[in-house]
Amino acid sequence: MKFKTVFVCQKCGYEAPKWSGQCPECGEWNTLAEEVKQQESKKPQRTRSFTDFSSEIIKLSDSRSVPETRIPTGIGEFDRLLGGGLVKGQITLLAGAPGIGKSTLMLQVAAALSKTLKVLYISGEESISQISGRAQRLGVGSENIYLHCETDIQKIVESVEQVAPDVLVLDSIQTVYHPEFTSSAGTVGQVRECASELVRLCKPKGIITFVLGHVTKDGELAGPKVLEHMVDSVLYFDTEKDNVLRLLRPHKNRFGSTGEIGLFKMTGSGLEGVENASEYFAQTSKERALKGRAYSLALEGSRPLLTEVQALVSPTHYPYPRRVTTGVDLNRCLMLFAALEKHIGLPLDNKDIFVSLAGGVKLKDPALDLAVCAAVISSCKEIPIAHDSLFMAEVGILGQAAKVPLLDRRLEEARRLGFKKAYTAALSRTEKRNLKDLTVLELADLNDLALKLR
Ligand code: TYD
Ligand code: MG
């Protein structure tokens, strides 16, 4: 048997015959790692594609789709982000930082599914006694969950064939290896081969498969991007580990939208769905006016989340004033600070500015723009903002306020949460109807905001 040495980029999977400092494909530095590979000709003949679809050529109009029956897990937040439940043969990649709760969630999902389905839980990370210890802690025990600690993908394939499960969990893809490849587990080649082996096995059998994966410290999946192409859904845990709240966000979903999020909190007995998230996002007292705090309602999918923007503007002691943001995009905020300086003459050039979202989440909704501006003005000019006011509008570089999508849903939620005043961009006549006890203050631009805040 002949072997050859190749250098594989751990980021994109590019193969080069020689080592170099920078990957010629994706441009990343220090990502080429040596891997030993069998010569192509000596390799056993295997199909190279990871799906086995083959059909006649037909017109789209003549084709018929079979409605997919959803299999709900019974864990409300999890079903919501999957679009109602799982589909037979669905392969899901669950990724997140170590310790965020992937194994915990998976054991809970496995337990919920095992009420009606046969589950095989394969772990390459923990021993049987560790898993059963966790199961006891979570209060789950089921006849229908089979455990297997294994890291050799060929043995895993054998055990899948032996047990014939309806649901398969693999914890985690970085720990399994393919014995035909000499590189160590977790390298691009191994991750890619093991994942495609699994897809080839589970897809035709209609096994619902969950593959767990770690992310690198930049928040990217450790392993090649090709992993994301192979699976049907990719779910990421998108919060810091130290937070009580864990946000699960779909990055890809072949059977539904990617707009929904799942909110969980880590408790002593596992992850618990959070239906009413407002209490986690609003930290400060809701009773009184505060300087530097502005509320907003950000939309995540169809779900309005009450968000508390906090800003601190203080004189700087450095030649270059500091701008620090947590939870909101720094570049977006820099643009807003520039707009505030230019259009309303806010003296920010000799001030440090800190902006943060309470609750430790990262949000991108443009509706937060106006809340960031209001909080900065409030902190800079020492104007307290009332506890029952809310700010929702996008702010452009010219300082003008623009309407955000689904405003009526946000206003409805604001009213439900007991807010009395909502600052928005100008509304159309139809949107002004039925606002009842919520006063809407329409703003044209930042000047308007500065005037009305006073
Ligand atoms: P884990 O699911 O092992 O994380 P991952 O698989 O993503 O690495 O668990 C994450 C953390 O959650 C762990 O450090 C302990 C904590 N935890 C609880 O707080 N309560 C619980 O009921 C469980 C099972 C874990
Ligand atoms: Mg784990």
Splitting the chain (454 residues) into consecutive groups of 10 residues, what average pLDDT does each group show?
78 85 88 74 55 78 80 89 89 90 93 92 93 88 87 94 94 90 81 89 92 76 72 84 78 82 86 76 69 90 84 93 93 96 94 89 89 96 92 95 89 84 85 74 93 84
List of residues 6+ apart from 226 with CB closer than 8 A: 13, 192
In angstroms, what is the span from residue 217 Cα to ligand 1's centroid?
A: 19
The answer to whether 281 and 358 are in contact (CB under 8 A) is yes
- Give the pLDDT score at 169: 95
Asked whether 372 lines ligand 1 (CB < 6 A), one says: no
- Give the pLDDT score at 224: 59
Q: Which atom of ligand 1 is nearest to the CA of 102?
A: 7
- Give the pLDDT score at 304: 81
In angstroms, what is the span from residue 267 Cα to ligand 1's centroid?
A: 9
- What residue's CA is closest to ligand 1, atom 17? 270
- Give the pLDDT score at 46: 53
pTM: 0.75
Q: What are phi and psi of 240, to 5 degrees?
A: -70, 150
- Of 335, 439, 306, the C-alpha closest to 394 is 335
- Give the pLDDT score at 379: 96
- Give the pLDDT score at 253: 87
Check: CATH 2.40.30.10 for 280-453? no
| Polymer length in residues for the chain | 454
- Give the pLDDT score at 277: 67
List of residues 6+ apart from 262 with CB closer than 8 A: 77, 78, 80, 81, 247, 248, 249, 273
Domain spans, the chain: 3-38, 76-275, 280-453
In angstroms, what is the span from residue 179 Cα to ligand 2's centroid?
A: 23
- Classify domain 76-275 at the CATH class level: alpha beta
